[in-house]
Structure 1
Amino acid sequence: MPAPIILFDGVCKLCSAWANFIIEHDAARRFRLCSVQSAAGQRLLAEHNYPTDTFETMLVVDGERRFEKSAAFFVVMHQLGWPWRALCVFQLIPRPLRDWLYDRIALNRYRLFGRYDLCRLPSADHAGRFVDE
């Protein structure tokens, strides 16, 4: 079964830091990463009926299942195992409230954390971690 794919905004500094966090802490390589600005990212967004011109959520695609916003975050934390799995206790907070907070950060991410002019390319030691065509 193919690894779940995490789609992220490759020009967002917060989102890129998130991708680096996953690479660092996913030693078992449970996930693959895909920038929404890449050709593969655009194809995956279109396949799952998400807009390709604006992107306001992290998306985890696991076969036919999709997780977005706070649900995507918790899917990743659960799969990364201990100690990250402990963060799943926050799923006790009602999803509308979690997603409202997620949206506040997502909608202001460039202003709060900055953005890159270009989507950064993965380094050679990250071979196989990113989805490409």
Structure 2
Amino acid sequence: MAIVLFDGECHFCDASVQFIIKRDPQAYFHFASLQSEVGQELLARYNVPPTDSIVLIENERYYLRSTAALKIARHLQGGWRFAYILIAVPATIRNIAYNIIAKNRYNWFGKKEVCELPSPDVRKRFL
């Protein structure tokens, strides 16, 4: 099991979580928002530096930004797992595009005012 921490107020981040869920039939990933009590506890437990980025917690380690996204992609169905080859590109280079999207995500995709209730099957994957 791995845990994905995401910005619970971001439409793009929510869409990313839905994307992962649809391509993760084995339910390897579980989710919590960065803003939630569980999310804050996990950030503290793993000594994650202050971030508004996606965080992957896997095998007792945390990963941020593009590294987290690529490690997530590695477990998804379909051709997405092949994106993991980009891990060979230095993170400073990979994170340039990631940081541009992250910096502008509220302007481009908006901010959520209300949370949707997922189906019971999906709901049990949220911590």
TM-score between both structures, scaled by the size of structure 1: 0.85
Q: For 1:123 and 1:36, locate their aligned partners in 2 and report how far apart those are by CA, in whole Å.
A: 21
Q: Deviations over 1:65-90 (max 9, x none)?
A: 11111110111111114311122232
Task: Determine if the alignment matches structure 1 residue 93 to structure 2 residue 111.
Answer: no
Q: Which deviates more, 89-98 or 37-46?
A: 89-98
Q: Deviations over 1:76-126 (max 9, x none)?
A: 111114311122232343221111221111111101111102444433231
Structure 2 counterpart of 1:22, from 20, 23, 31: 20
Task: Determine if the alignment matches structure 1 residue 84 to structure 2 residue 80.
Answer: yes
Letter in 1 for 2:63: F
Describe the SS at the equivalent of 2:75: helix
Q: For 1:43 and 1:12, locate their aligned partners in 2 and report how far apart those are by CA, in whole Å.
A: 20
Aligned length in residues? 127
The 1:46/1:120 distance shift into structure 2, 3 A limit, reads: farther
Describe the SS at the equivalent of 1:130: coil
Q: Is the 8 A contact 1:9 1:55 kept in 2?
A: no
RMSD (CA atoms) = 1.8
Q: Which residue of 2 aligns with 1:60?
A: 56
Question: 5+ residue gaps in structure 2?
Answer: none
Q: Is the 8 A contact 2:55 2:63 kept in 1?
A: yes
Q: Is the 8 A contact 1:37 1:119 kept in 2?
A: no
Q: Is the 8 A contact 2:8 2:33 kept in 1?
A: yes
Q: For 2:93 and 2:107, locate their aligned partners in 1 and report how far apart those are by CA, in whole Å.
A: 22
Q: For 1:37 and 1:122, locate their aligned partners in 2 and report how far apart those are by CA, in whole Å.
A: 18
Q: Which residue of 2 aligns with 1:111?
A: 107
Q: Deviations over 1:38-87 (max 9, x none)?
A: 11111111222236xx6421000114211111110111111114311122
Q: Which residue of 2 aligns with 1:4?
A: 2
Letter in 1 for 2:11: K
Stretches of 4+ aligned residues off by more than 3 angstroms: 118-123
Aligned sequence identity (%): 37
The 1:90/1:75 distance shift into structure 2, 3 A limit, reads: same
